[in-house]
Amino acid sequence: MASHRRPKPAGRARVSILTAAAATAVALSAQTGAHADPAPTKDQVKQQVDTLNEQAEVKTEEFNAATEREQGLQKQVSQIQDQVARQQAQVSGIQGTLGEIAAEQYRTGGIPQTVQLMLSASPDSFLNQAGAMNQVGSSQADVLKAFKDEQGKLDQQKSEAEQKLAELDATTKRLKADKEEILGKLAKAQSLLDSLTQKERDDLAAAEAKSAADAKAKATAAQGPERASRDSARTDVVVNAPAGSHAAAAIAAATSKLGSPYSYGAAGPSAFDCSGLMKWAYAQAGVSLPRTSQDQAGAGTSIGTNVANAQPGDLIIYYGDQHHVGMYIGNGQIIHAPRTGVPVRYESATAMPISKIVRP
């Protein structure tokens, strides 16, 4: 007798398997989400941004050094090219004289070897041939010797120009790479800041403003109660530097730029990086400083690392690699161009690790 059992619905087993797989996937997804790295906190973002800004400043000082090197090489190349042009004219003039002598000898039936000597591409080797000098007059030999000497100078100058041009090309490429790296770090820092909420960004800005206000209050307090009670909006802080001194003039110039924006590679008059502000301020006082903070560390008398021994106008160099610099103004304060997004302002002289104090 045939079986009349009802057949199972088609695909039931497959549906069960797919349902189980979907449930497993959902569970795994939830588990993965539970273990995902949490978004960085405001403080963590600030720390990362500060690190990126410091790295950018390190590259900025390298950029400044390379820029200065490039400018120096450009001057050297220009000078050498001028020398080559003058030397070429000198050689061409002597060649013309040799050509006239050779032509005259040819017309008057002169010795063929003399003509060869005058027109030789290598006068030096020809002159070394036995008896060659006996075949020309002393005046002609003098002209040949002059030609040989001047041609040697020209060849040397051309070789030097080629070397400097190659060095300039390498420096220019390094500048481009440094600039791209700096911009990359700054863009990453900005991206981190953009990831914060508006309130978190406002809190960070308020903290920066409070830090600047506290530093300004300490700098102003150095002048006594009367000075400290004046309008807090004023930014002209008078310091105890000898009147008429280079230090006093440099401090006056630097403080006149309070609030000016930071810009990498900038040395005034409207924007600055850290070493650019020092160079510009001291230039207003008639003192020439090197361009980078590392070179500025050697531009004067070393005072050690104790702020207690610093005088207004001294340069305080920071960090082990000396990539930051500020100007001491007294009362434990400096004025400096901190970093991208933070304008020229006052700061505690010990807010960063001191590498060296220098008196220009």
Q: What is the pLDDT of residues 285-341, one digit of tens each?
A: 999 999 999 999 999 999 999 999 999 999 999 999 999 999 999 999 999 999 988
Query: Residue 165: its pLDDT value, please?
Result: 84
Q: Report d(CA 279, CA 260) in Å as an integer.
A: 15
Q: Please tell me whether residues 261 and 311 are part of one structural domain.
A: yes
Q: Please tell me whether residues 257 and 294 are part of one structural domain.
A: yes
Q: Report d(CA 111, CA 102) in Å as an integer.
A: 10
Q: Please tell me whether residues 228 and 246 are part of one structural domain.
A: yes
Q: Please tell me whether residues 140 and 237 are part of one structural domain.
A: no
Q: Please tell me whether residues 179 and 309 are part of one structural domain.
A: no
Q: Please tell me whether residues 186 and 215 are part of one structural domain.
A: no
Q: Please tell me whether residues 242 and 317 are part of one structural domain.
A: yes
Joined tokens for residue 120: 């030789």
- Catalytic residue chosen out of the listed positions 4, 35, 246, 324: 324
* Contact indicator for 283, 332 with CB cutoff of 8 Å: no
35 as an active site residue: the answer is no
Residue 23 lies in a domain: no
323 as an active site residue: the answer is no
Question: Of 194, 214, 249, at which residue does a domain stop?
Answer: 194
- Catalytic residue chosen out of the listed positions 4, 35, 246, 336: 336
Report the number of distinct structural domains present in the chain: 2
Q: Report d(CA 238, CA 334) in Å as an integer.
A: 13
Query: Residue 37: its pLDDT value, please?
Result: 59
246 as an active site residue: the answer is no
Q: Report d(CA 255, CA 93) in Å as an integer.
A: 60
Query: Residue 18: its pLDDT value, please?
Result: 42
Say which CATH number the domain at 300 has. Answer: 3.90.1720.10
Q: What is the pLDDT of residues 178-213, one digit of tens each?
A: 888 888 888 888 888 888 888 888 888 787 777 767
Residue 218 lies in a domain: yes
Instruction: For 337, list phi and psi in degrees, rounded to 5.
Output: -100, 105
- Catalytic residue chosen out of the listed positions 4, 35, 246, 274: 274
Q: Please tell me whether residues 102 and 210 are part of one structural domain.
A: no
Residue 20 lies in a domain: no
Question: Of 194, 223, 238, at which residue does a domain stop?
Answer: 194
Question: Of 138, 160, 194, at which residue does a domain stop?
Answer: 194
At which residue do the structure tokens 């160079």 appear? 279
Chunked into runs of 10 residues, the chain (360 residues) has average pLDDT values of 50 46 46 58 82 86 86 85 83 73 62 53 55 52 74 82 84 84 85 86 79 68 46 46 84 96 93 97 97 95 95 96 96 93 93 96
Q: Please tell me whether residues 182 and 278 are part of one structural domain.
A: no
Q: Please tell me whether residues 72 and 55 are part of one structural domain.
A: yes
Tell me the residue range of the domain where 111 lies.
42-194
Query: Residue 54: its pLDDT value, please?
Result: 86
Q: Please tell me whether residues 272 and 339 are part of one structural domain.
A: yes
Query: Residue 119: its pLDDT value, please?
Result: 55
Q: What is the DSSP string of 54-117?
A: HHHHHHHHHHHHHHHHHHHHHHHHHHHHHHHHHHHHHHHHHHHHHHHHHHHHHHTT--HHHHHH
